[in-house]
Amino acid sequence: MGLDAVVFDVDGTIADTERHGHRVAFNLAFERLGLPYRWDEDEYGRLLETPGGEHRLRGYLAARGVDEPDGSRLAAELHRTKQAIFLDLIRRGAAPLRPGIERLIDDLTAAGVKLGVATTAGRSWVGELLSTLLGSRRAAAFEVVITGEDVARRKPDPEAYLLALESLGCAAGASVAVEDSAAGVAAARAACLACLAFRNGYTARHDFGLADLVVDELGGPGGPAVVVANPHGIDVESFVGVATLTRLREAAA
């Protein structure tokens, strides 16, 4: 059994969307609705503990005494406004691809590995982000895109990954997930997927004890892969590609 599919998370994995993308869009939405709230980089890092932009807003407003039903109504209006602003920020380049992702996608598609997405985020911008950052050919390689609007339960619940595998027609045991957060890794492992954790500035202090390999860099022209944890002791190429992910799947089986 080789490697049948790889399912990617989006925010913080495929692209660096949170710090200069979503956070800025949330703040501009607050401003546009005449609200005094502003999220600096550190506070936003803490708020990321709540997966899902609208849920994050609802929790934040509730903590500031905005009672129901006003809280849900305001969170929904803010989130709609934020999504439109975020789309514009994507087009302006505010959410760059993470280094090595393009090369990994090319390596996987060249080997005939199926690709999917499982994200907590809303559907309104995911497709545009993939095509804007990856180009139409690479974006088209993603046969299925599961978003927060397709599931009843968000990560760390495995529902998004289970739905992605079902849609791809692939078994968990023959597939690998790529994630940036502890909640995402927990979701992938709960779906019985082997999981590569690709840390970023906001998730570097997360507990990645469930991950099968943890890296800070995938490797590429800019330098070799930077491995943080390798619990199975697998051989990791200088660039994390098909061979490494296949070994990962085998070791996690």
Choose between 19 and 247: whose C-beta lies nearer to ligand XBP.
19
Considering only CA atoms, which of 202, 156, 218 is closest in space to residue 22? 202
Q: Which of 12, 21, 100, 116 binds Mg ion (CB under 5 A)?
A: 12
One DSSP character per residue, 65-77 reads: T--TTHHHHHHHH
Task: Kindly determine how many residues on this chain lie close enough to bind Mg ion according to the rule CB under 5 A.
Answer: 5
Instruction: Give the strands of the sheet with 194-198, arranged side by side.
Output: 142-146, 114-118, 5-8, 175-179, 194-198, 213-217, 226-229
Residue with tokens 């501009």, as numbered in its chain: 28
Residues that bind ligand XBP (CB under 6 A): 9-12, 18, 22, 51-53, 119-122, 148, 155, 184
Query: Which segment (63-71, 146-154, 174-182, 232-240) binds Mg ion by CB under 5 A?
Result: 174-182
Beta bridge partners of 217: 226
207 has catalytic annotation: no
How many CB atoms within 10 Å of residue 42?
9
Catalytic residue among 4, 11, 107, 157: 11
The option from Mg ion, ligand XBP, none interacting with 114 (CB < 5 to 8 A, set by class) reads none
Catalytic-labelled residue, pool 9, 16, 157, 180: 9
Find residue 198's DSSP bridge partners.
Answer: 215
Here's the x/- map for Mg ion, 110-129, by CB under 5 A: it reads as --------------------
Q: Contact between 11 and Mg ion (CB under 5 A)?
A: yes
11 as an active site residue: the answer is yes
Backbone dihedral angles phi then psi of residue 245, each to the nearest 5 degrees? -70, -30
List the catalytic residues. 9, 11
Residues near Mg ion (CB under 5 A): 9, 11-12, 180-181
